[in-house]
Structure 1
Amino acid sequence: MSGNTSPAETTRVHKLNNNDVNKAGTFVLYWMSNSLRSHYNYALAHASYLCEKYEMPLRVAHVFDAVAQDGKPLPERHAAFQLESLSDVQKDMHERNVPFVVINGSHKARDAVPALAEDAVAVVTDTSYLRKGRSDRHAVATALPIPLYAVEADVVVPVQTVSSKSEYAARTIRPKITRALKDYLVPMKNVELTNQTNCDLKRWVSSANPDLSLLTLEDLDESLKGMEGLDRGAPRVRFFKGGQEEAQKRLTTFLDEKLREYGGGRNEPAKQLQSDLSPYLRSGNISPVDIALHTKAKATKKASWKESEESFLEELIVRRELAVNACWFNADAYDVYEQIVPNFARESLALHKSDKRPKIFTYEELEAAVTEDPYWNAAQLEMVVKGKMHGYMRMYWVKRIIGWVEDPADAMDYAIRLNNRWELDAVDPNSYAGVIWCFGLHDRGWTERPIWGKVRYMNESGLKRKFNMPAYIAYVDKMVASEGLPRHIAELRKKHKMGGQQQTIDGSRKRLRSRKATSSSSKSGLRGSESKSVKRIKM
């Protein structure tokens, strides 16, 4: 046996029922749900520990769900990302002689998991911090006659170890997390499986429940095409491929090529210095502990990188786990305007609800990026085409929606729906908190102004003053020209005479030429060629 204790700290492991292990069982089942990885997975490690403790083999199952965590049909792009993630896991499980099955999404986890665990000693799963995932785990725990252990595999510090309440802001949770880091930012020990046996996958599944069907991962394109109930209006993107292998590549690229400049340049949309790890964190393809340890090891060698290291770890750990805290302690309210938006913000927004908006846009018009704000349009189209919007632009994007929708509650609903449909890092605590922060969550009151009341304000002139926005627009326009747009968006943009691409480059050129040149590059402007802006971003 590899050790007498689990690699997962005891505070990560939560027993969800009071049942005893089945001493007559023949295997331990890991119900892989959120943490779609085999590397640095505390839930998998705890299941492996139980296998060695009881001298049993391990089996792993995932129940593919065509319903997203927000209860809506799973967008095709999210489904593709998950299939790619599961394919990675399957390869690794095969190499380790661990039986691994993916159950077709027409079956619910609350029915499939108890059936698959018929002869199991115990079941282990990973923790969900969202309403639907928590409900599924409760239902499975109730249906099982054996223990169900939920392991917090996707945070650095377990949520209830950090705090026993919903935290007010980053400044209140930061010291609590910081005090705990020394106990949790440590390498995870691996458990070697020594009791594995051959297993006929089809027989296991059919004997559990003849109605269960396996989802094949040999041809992902065909599997994706054959899925029912998906939201095909948000198609697959090519800029992000799911899986732990790709997550590790993204991490290496970030540490080698972007971290040095991250501290001072992360907010510049044209530079694209963000890690792009959020889709992989959302799908559990990579552990935040793994990311943090690699980041600290890299930055330790470079004293000048201290600002970048601290800035990145603040986002990865403090801000991300503040979002987890908000969803965990507001399980029924994290997406409900009247309950999650702070009183100061809700009251001031209500006072200014009747303020005249310069323009009103519908949900469909926002989705198609047909506003009169070229920077907002660029951000929306980046999300549609790429699957991920630049982080700073996402704040601006939400703030502007408040000014274009008469009812603030509708504005929040629009922002969440758009984000959940198009962003590969949604549906996730961090994406919910990111949207709702723009309505005052984890923030304070600011100088009161029309429409936005005391909610923090962002505007177009601020972007122009701080950043190279023509370069950002050119970057997005190049993607749109290369990839095209979903049909319903292209048709609405044509109806509004926006053209196949954004009609923003010409306006950006005029604005750029009108600014007083401060360098040789700005003196030349774009001079009729957006490619120069694109070249600057890639440097």
Structure 2
Amino acid sequence: MRTLEKQGIIQKMNKKRRKELLSTNQKRDSKYVLYWMQQSMRVSYNHALLEAINISNQKNLPLLVCFTLTDGYLGANRRHYEFMLQGIKEVSNELNEMGISFVIKKGEPFEALKPLLLDADTIVMDYGYLKPQLKWRREVYDYCKGNLETNLIMIESDLIVPVKEAYEKTAYAAYAIRPHLLKKMNDYFDFNGLKEINNKAKLRIKSDFNFDRFHEELDLLKLDHSVKLNGFFKGGYSEAIKHLNLFFNNQLKEYEKRSDPSLNIQSYMSIYLHFGQISVLDIIERLKEYVFKYETNYANYDMFIEQLVVRRELAYNFVTYEKDYDLYEKMTLPWAYETIDKHKNDKRLIDYNLEELEYSKTHDEYFNAAMTEMRVTGFMANYMRMYWAKKIMEWSSSMKLAYERIVYLNNKYFLDGRDANSYMNIAWCFGRHDRPWKERNIFGTLRYMNADGLKRKFKIDKYVETVLNNYSILE
């Protein structure tokens, strides 16, 4: 697979990123253009922000950017909120330097936004794909359609190719969607940079979060404060770029060995992509620049693109076309449910309770190390994520209970949990985007993983030692 082409003249934003939901020619006594920034939490490579600035300049109106902060989103806790708000603080500073007003409004998004909608000439919002995100956007759309003469525009800025442009139905596996993405993706290298905003009038709208009292404000949020951000990762675009540069300079050349958890060959981009703090397009453009500069690592470029574009867009395809992506009864394929049902009464030799799993109290030192890394840092190497989930499946009294435990722990601890990739990766463990394997106890024909495989393939004891020395002491 060769996806690398030298960059020519950057085109204008691809019109297929833009969806005009409502349009009006009626003149209103509007005070600003409103960009509801909810998914693309960044300034750099933000197509929705670009659209909002362009409209503001056309109408000579100031631009108001609003982020809505709701308590307890989809199982998120203090770890997730602190990381997210570190990034939002950086966004706020950048926008203020550009002459763009930025506010945070607390509450359920529609209710928090409602007072701001009334004075907006045009409302720009970014895409969302999960059920809560779709619900929020539908509420804003329904209210505007029924109560306001306004313009409402939605812009895709987090994927290279918008989901329904990439593939028109559920993709059975990566092989189905890959050729379509690789053929189309060059048409979406489409960011020219942001223009300066003409009308820099300061809007006197009170924000509901004071960054000067960051931790005090965080303490007031109604959420689980027991899971902390332990300092391994910090939120924000500048932090994402630091990790990316370290990856390019030190690890890209060995990317083919990334499955070995002992080598720690990680870009950590999944964390920053989850919060929209960096764009896939930004990553690719920087990757191109690095590869052309050194005229090397072309094979590793292709492998990285496979993860960054193909596998990620496969996940968004999954949550878009499988409406019940988060339900155990709907998330995988008929053959998988058949083999699960056939083996539902198989005897489990081990049946751990949730506390034993969550706090690394099993007999398996590799599982315990992976769970500890996840619990302390909010991250785990991809191969260990698969092993971790497979062990929970093996040690739970039913596959449904295993699914519920995996989702719960995934959402609670992973910084990059609770998104399309998470739901797809969990479903993969239960057969989605996979194939039947040799039949065995408990798993039937679902893929099985064991400790012997880890020992055979990797320096797995080195991984355990790293976790014990670097992570365990911090609890």
> Do the structures match in fold with TM over 0.5?
yes
Greater displacement, 357-366 / 155-164:
357-366
1:255 aligns with 2:248: yes
- The aligned residue for residue 390 of structure 1 is 381
- The aligned residue for residue 32 of structure 1 is 37
Greater displacement, 13-22 / 158-167:
13-22
Deviation at 1:421, TM superposition (A): 0.6
Q: 1:411 to 1:16 in 2, by over 3 A?
A: farther
SS of structure 1 residue aligned to 2:104: strand
Greater displacement, 415-424 / 364-373:
364-373
Distance 2:399 2:70 in 1: 32
Contact kept in structure 2, 1:7 and 1:45, CA below 8 Å: no
* Matched AA of 1:288: V
- The aligned residue for residue 406 of structure 1 is 397
SS of structure 1 residue aligned to 2:195: coil
* Matched AA of 1:62: F
- The aligned residue for residue 116 of structure 2 is 116
Contact kept in structure 1, 2:372 and 2:472, CA below 8 Å: no
SS of structure 2 residue aligned to 1:29: strand
Contact kept in structure 1, 2:105 and 2:113, CA below 8 Å: no
Contact kept in structure 2, 1:17 and 1:142, CA below 8 Å: no
- The aligned residue for residue 101 of structure 1 is 103
Identity %: 36
Deviation at 1:257, TM superposition (A): 1.3
1:243 to 232, 236, 240: 236
Contact kept in structure 2, 1:48 and 1:58, CA below 8 Å: yes
SS of structure 2 residue aligned to 1:125: strand
Q: 1:272 to 1:190 in 2, by over 3 A?
A: same
Alignment of 1:448-527 (within 5 A): 448-484=439-475
1:323 aligns with 2:325: no
Deviation at 1:24, TM superposition (A): 2.9
Alignment of 1:84-99 (within 5 A): 84-99=86-101
Deviation at 1:82, TM superposition (A): 1.1
Contact kept in structure 1, 2:229 and 2:377, CA below 8 Å: no
* Matched AA of 1:336: L
Count residues in correspondence: 462
Alignment of 1:50-449 (within 5 A): 50-68=55-73, 70=74, 72=75, 74-104=76-106, 107-144=107-144, 145=148, 146-202=150-206, 214-227=208-221, 229-263=222-256, 265-331=257-323, 333-449=324-440
Extract unaligned runs of 5+ from structure 2.
Answer: 1-10
- The aligned residue for residue 19 of structure 2 is 14
- The aligned residue for residue 4 of structure 2 is none
- The aligned residue for residue 512 of structure 1 is none
CA RMSD, Structure 1 to Structure 2 (Å): 1.7
Extract unaligned runs of 5+ from structure 1.
Answer: 1-5, 203-212, 485-539
Deviation at 1:17, TM superposition (A): 4.1
Distance 1:186 1:122 in 2: 23
Contact kept in structure 1, 2:343 and 2:443, CA below 8 Å: yes
Contact kept in structure 1, 2:41 and 2:275, CA below 8 Å: yes
Distance 1:283 1:28 in 2: 24
Deviation at 1:7, TM superposition (A): 4.9
* Matched AA of 1:53: Q
Distance 1:171 1:458 in 2: 23
- The aligned residue for residue 491 of structure 1 is none
SS of structure 1 residue aligned to 2:430: coil
Q: 1:314 to 1:188 in 2, by over 3 A?
A: farther
Contact kept in structure 2, 1:185 and 1:292, CA below 8 Å: no
SS of structure 1 residue aligned to 2:297: helix
* Matched AA of 1:32: M
Deviations 1:68-89 (A, max 9, x none): 2x3x3x2110010111011100
* Matched AA of 1:452: F
Deviations 1:163-196 (A, max 9, x none): 1211110000001111101201344432221122
Distance 2:433 2:26 in 1: 42
* Matched AA of 1:9: N
* Matched AA of 1:338: E
* Matched AA of 1:479: N
Q: What is the TM-score normalised by the length of structure 2? A: 0.94
Contact kept in structure 2, 1:385 and 1:479, CA below 8 Å: no
SS of structure 1 residue aligned to 2:228: coil
Q: 1:374 to 1:191 in 2, by over 3 A?
A: same
Contact kept in structure 2, 1:31 and 1:125, CA below 8 Å: yes
Q: What is the TM-score normalised by the length of structure 1? A: 0.83
Contact kept in structure 1, 2:14 and 2:190, CA below 8 Å: no
Deviation at 1:420, TM superposition (A): 0.7
* Matched AA of 2:69: F
Contact kept in structure 2, 1:49 and 1:191, CA below 8 Å: yes
Higher-Rg member (1/2):
1
Contact kept in structure 1, 2:12 and 2:190, CA below 8 Å: no
Distance 1:113 1:335 in 2: 27
* Matched AA of 1:244: Y
Contact kept in structure 1, 2:19 and 2:155, CA below 8 Å: yes
* Matched AA of 1:325: N
Deviations 1:364-398 (A, max 9, x none): 22111111111011101100101101111001111
SS of structure 1 residue aligned to 2:330: helix
Contact kept in structure 2, 1:51 and 1:195, CA below 8 Å: yes
Contact kept in structure 1, 2:100 and 2:200, CA below 8 Å: yes
* Matched AA of 1:147: N
Deviations 1:114-157 (A, max 9, x none): 21122111111111110000000000111122232221111111
